[in-house]
Each structure stands twice: as structure tokens, then as C-alpha cells.
Chains A and B, each alone.
Chain A
Amino acid sequence: MAEIEALIKAFSGHGVDEKTVISILGNSQPEHRQAFRKEGGFFAEDERRFERWNDHHVKLLKHEFMRFKNAVVLWAMHPWERDARLIKEALKKGPNSNSVIVEIASTRSSDELLGARKAYHSLFEHSIEEDVASHIHGKEKKLLVALVSAYRYEGPKVKEDVAKSEAKALISAVKNAEKQNPIENDEVVRILSTRSKPHLKSVFKHYKEIAGQHFEDELDVHLILQAAVQCLITPQSYFSRVLDEAMRDGADKNTKKGLTRVLVTRADVDIRAISDDYRNHYAIPLADKIEAKAKGSYKEFLLTLMARGN
């Protein structure tokens, strides 16, 4: 029935379409609700002859209702506390969330990252680097610890000859990928975690000139390493990719969180540039995509963040 379909739709996607839920479910009689339980797919027939909520669905619903609250809380937070908590959460979630740590460490300014480190002391009584070093075990550990410890110089000055020789070091690391994964290569880690961003832009420009292709297109490059490079030199396209993945159908719980995280953390920084990049890459304006995929108060909140000042 049309109403059940509309209800199901109100619960799917990012957030909950509260108005639809109120108007349909709120106005429903017992027999409507029974029909919903029988047809909705959120319930299962219990052995004792009643339609029982599927526990898994209740959990999913909980997350969808919480999306708005999480976005609001994250938005009101001081950026330092926000980044510290995001890193802590990523550490708890495990290796699949390592990219969040890379994202925060690499896209913030030196002082913003420093602020996150200070807030982390207050919130968790440990330093970020000690927690990252003790909780991460794979090949990416060295790079991650180094990235969160950086306090990069932020001036524009670049030494082209140094950039060129560092590009060559990267090329050599990639050539040697069979013997050692480039993400564990000391020179790769040193260059990516200590050099300034303008310097790195130059390094990767030389890389392309000498090797003939972009570093990110090299086959044997660890995903985390690719993410780090993108975050450091082309953050807007990195963010628009995260957004797109978050809004894809069938995205998992953690990937979906990218929508809130990127909007909230970049709304004051470069959301317009990210938006432009998104439209160039995915042929649809970011706001339109959010309009289509998100629901209710959550959707309104995100769109409002984006439209501020227009």
C-alpha cells in the first residue's frame, strides 16, 4: 500500500522523515499499524504468534533518529574537542576507520591539529600519538603516528630541487613495492609527515613529470597512503569522494557517518569548494544529492549549514 511504502521510505536513507512518520503513523489506527507490521519488513513472525520488531532494525532506526542529534552536538562543539573525539572514536572502531585519522591529521591546519592534541589530553588523559601508536598494528601505523605528530611549517616557500629529489625517493619506493610496501618506507613517511603542504604539492607535481603518472594512480600504493596524499594536496576532492561514498546505496554504518562528519567539519572552512568539486565530479550539485538522500530535520540541518551566508 502507498502509505506503508511511504513509511518505509521515511525510515530509509540518512535521518528520518519525521513529518511523514507523524502524519502516517501518528494518524494510524491499530489495523494500519498491524498492516505495517505484517508488510513492512521490519518485523518478523514470532513463534508465539505476534509480529515482533526485528532487533537489528530497531538498532538501525535508533542510528537514523540519532543522526540529527549527533550532527547538532558535533556542530556546536569546539573544533578542537570535535577532532579529538572523532579520532578517539576512529581508534575504537578499528582499522576500517583509520582513514578518518588520516583525514583529520592531514586536512587541518597546523594549529588546528595542535588544538586537537591539546583537547585530547584534557578529554582522554593520553596523547593522541600514544593512543595511535598503541592501538594501531598494521603497516599503516608508522605513517599514522607520524601524521598526527606533525606541526608543519605553513609558509609558501618551496625548494624545488629538494622537492624533485624527494619525488625521486617516492618513485624509488614505489618501484621497490614488492620488497617493501611504500607505506612502511622510512623516506615516504618522513616526506609525507614532515614537509609543508606547498612543498608536497611540488613533490607530487615532479612525481607526475618524472614517472609519467600520478602517485595516486600507482597500483601498489596502500589505500591509506593514497588517502594521505589526497588529503594533503587535494583535500576538496578527497572530501567530495567521502561524501559520495557516504550517500551511496548500501553504504555501511561507518561510511554513512562521513556525511555528517564532512559537512560539520568543513562548513566553516571550504564547503563551497568541496561543493564545486562534487558537482564537477559527480554531475549533480551536492545540495541536490543531500536533498535526495537525507531526510527530515537531519536533512534540513545539513542544507542549512551549507546555505549559510548565501
Chain B
Amino acid sequence: MSTLTVPAQVPSVTEDCEQLRKAFEGWGTNEQLIISILAHRNAAQRKLIRQTYADTYGEDLLKSLDKELTNDFERVVMLWTLDPAERDAFLANEATKRWTSSNQVLMEIACTRSSKQLLEARQAYHARFKKSLEEDVGYHTNGDFRKLLLPLVTAYRYEGDEVNITLAKSEAKILHEKISNKAYNDEDLIRILATRSKAQINATLNQYKNVYGNDIDQDLEADPKDEYLDLLRATVQCLGTDEGALTRVVTTRAEVDLKVIKDEYQRRNSVPLDRAVVKDTSGDYEKMLLALLGHGDA
């Protein structure tokens, strides 16, 4: 859930731009003023501010920020002001230039964005860096890291909910076999993680747990010093978070067997499903889910 707070009465865009301009004037910079404005506007508002600022003062707001701010603060404000696709492109580009810990950034962008968002990031990358994301990732990574990252950043996953259980079972078997043999860079293992839809991968990970007893992350903990293994485990964790699952399962099973699912959930996690829903959701969404779960009176 979002944490951004925007004032009830938002000043006009022109006012915001004037104030920002004032913040840059003179000897120092009025950081507090910048924070008070930019940190309390949503993406659409920030975009409008950026456009109007450019129209009014003939300069990209980001350039002003770059000139006037320093280091961490500048970075936060700058990243916040970019639109999401540009932000991802910027972070990805930065990651290709640095050393090992930045593989994580590339993987995160590739795995946690929707197919459309990842694509937009690739388009923004073309526009800004005059190269493709994949050519930079390919060039700046090697060995097992490249084997895993290239397919991840070039994926355009199907986004539907359809799941083939037979396929999930057979691919869970493949994953288990490769992991048992410590073949962590195996082509098939990477193929499954890099090309299947997220819904399908989740089904596969569930089958994995059902059949082999462990969560796949546990089986990927063999060697704490192995950085590639680390990355692989993080990949699985990122892909395995299925936000739509709660809505999907509750709405499609409420009239079928949700009671059975609730019982099973409690058995597995030692916590009632209702309590987990209350903890993780809020507002009308929470109320609706609880109602469908049979909570309270009709």
C-alpha cells in the first residue's frame, strides 16, 4: 500500500514551479522547500510540474536539481522526479557500470516489473542511452550472471492467470533435479525462471513445495559465499510474489471450496487466513475480502 501523502488542497502547478525556482535562487538551496513540495506530489502531479517548469523557465527541472543539490539527497529527489520507466532505465544503466551487488538491481527490475513496465524501461533506455539495455547487460556481465540476467531483462512474459498444472509438476521436477545436482546455472532451470508467466512460475513453486517438502529458497541456500546462488535465490523470491493471487483465489473459490482452502492455510501457516488478510490489506479491499471469507454477518 502507498505511503505518499498529498495535501488536501494542492497548490496550483504554477505556484509549485515558482516555489521550486525560489528554492534554487541565491547562495544556497532551500532543501526543505523542495522536500515540502516534491515529496508530497504524486506521479501525475510531478510530471505536470516538470513540464510546466520546463515551459516557464526553459530548463528541465532535473537539470536545476542536478546543479543545485548534492549526493544522496540529490539522488533521492532526482530518482523521485523521473517517471518510472526512466527511473528503471537510469538504475539499470548505473547497475551495468558497477560491480557485483548491482546484479541484484538488474534482477529486481527485470522480475518485479510487469511486462509492460519492463518494456517501457527498455524503451526509455534506448531514448536516454542510445543503446539497448540488453547490449549493455550482455557486455558488462559474464559467466553465470550473464546466463541468468540476459534472459531476465529481455523477457516479455505472458501476463494471464492461466496455469497448466501438469506443466507445473514437470517443471518443478526439473528444478528439483537440477538443484539437487547443484547445477544452478543449468539452461532448463534458467529457461523456466526467465520465460514462464508469473502465474505459471508460482504454480510450479507451489508444486515444488508440495512434492519435495521444502520451499525452493531453502534448497538454494547451499553455499552462503556463492554470489550467483544468492542472485538466483533472490530471483526466485522476486518472481514468487504473486500479489494478484489473493484476489484471484478468494473471488474464484468463495462459492466453491474456500472453506477448505482456509483450513489448509491455517494448517500450513499456523495463522488463520482472516488474520493474514487483516494484517496485509486495508480499507474497502480488506472489508470485501473478509466478507467473502465468511467473516461477520450477511
Question: Could you tell me which A residues sit within 8 Å of B by CB distance?
Answer: 114, 117-118, 121, 125-130, 133-134, 141-142, 145-146, 149-155, 157, 186, 190-191, 193-196
List of A residues within 8 angstroms of B154 by Cβ:
129, 146, 149-151
Using known A-B contacts A149-B155, A190-B138, determine if residue A130 contacts B132 with beta carbons closer than 8 Å: no
Kindly supply a per-residue 1/0 record for chain B positions 151-173, scoring 1 wherever the CB is within 8 Å of any chain A CB and 0 otherwise: 10011111110100000000000
Total A-B pairs, Cβ < 8 A: 93
Among A130, A152, A191, which residue has its beta carbon within 8 angstroms of that of B195? A130
User: With A125-B162, A130-B195 known to touch, is A114 a contact of B132 (CB < 8 Å)?
Assistant: no
Name which residue of chain B comes closest to A166, CB basis.
Answer: B139
Per the bound structure, the CA–CA distance linking A27 and B159 in Å amounts to: 58
Known contacts: A121-B159, A149-B154, A194-B135. The answer to whether A129 contacts B195 by CB under 8 A is: yes
* A117 B156 Cβ-Cβ under 8 A: yes
User: Cβ of B46: which chain A residues have Cβ within 8 Å of it?
Assistant: none
Give the secondary structure class of A's interface.
helix
Minimal Cβ-Cβ distance residue in B for A128: B156
Q: Closest B-chain residue to A127, C-beta based?
A: B158
A155 to B130, CA, bound (A): 7
The distance in angstroms between the C-alpha atoms of A36 and B178, with both chains bound, is 63
B236 in the interface, Cβ–Cβ < 8 Å?
no
- Which 6 A-B pairs have CB atoms at the shortest separation, nearest pair first? A149-B154, A130-B195, A194-B135, A190-B138, A153-B132, A194-B134
Interface contact B122-A151, CB-CB below 8 Å: yes
Q: List 30 A-B contacts (CB under 8 A).
A: A125-B158, A126-B158, A127-B158, A129-B156, A130-B157, A130-B197, A133-B191, A133-B195, A134-B191, A134-B195, A141-B187, A142-B187, A145-B195, A151-B132, A151-B133, A151-B154, A152-B132, A152-B135, A153-B126, A153-B130, A153-B132, A153-B135, A155-B126, A155-B130, A190-B138, A191-B138, A193-B134, A193-B138, A194-B137, A194-B139
CA distance A186 to B122 in the complex (A): 22
Q: Do B126 and A195 touch across chains, with their CB atoms under 8 A apart? A: no
CB within 8 Å for A154 and B126 given contacts A126-B158, A149-B151: yes
Main secondary structure of the interface of B (DSSP, over half): helix
Residue B87 is within 8 A (CB to CB) of chain A in the complex:
no
| Residue of A with least CB distance to B135 | A194
Chain B, interface size: which category? 20 to 34
Question: Is A130 touching B126 in the complex (CB atoms < 8 A)?
Answer: no
CB B133 to nearest CB in A, in angstroms, measures 8
Complex CA gap A121/B119 in Å reads 14
Residue of chain B at shortest CB distance from A195: B135
Would you list which residues of chain B between 140 and 157 have a CB under 8 Å from chain A?
142, 146-147, 150-151, 154-157
In the bound complex, CA of A232 to CA of B147 (Å): 23
Complex Cα–Cα for A128 and B155 (A): 9
Q: How far is the CA of A152 from the CA of B119 in the complex (A)?
A: 12
Q: How far is the CA of A194 from the CA of B140 in the complex (A)?
A: 12
Q: Are B130 and A125 in contact (CB under 8 A)?
A: no
Q: How far is the CA of A146 from the CA of B146 in the complex (A)?
A: 12
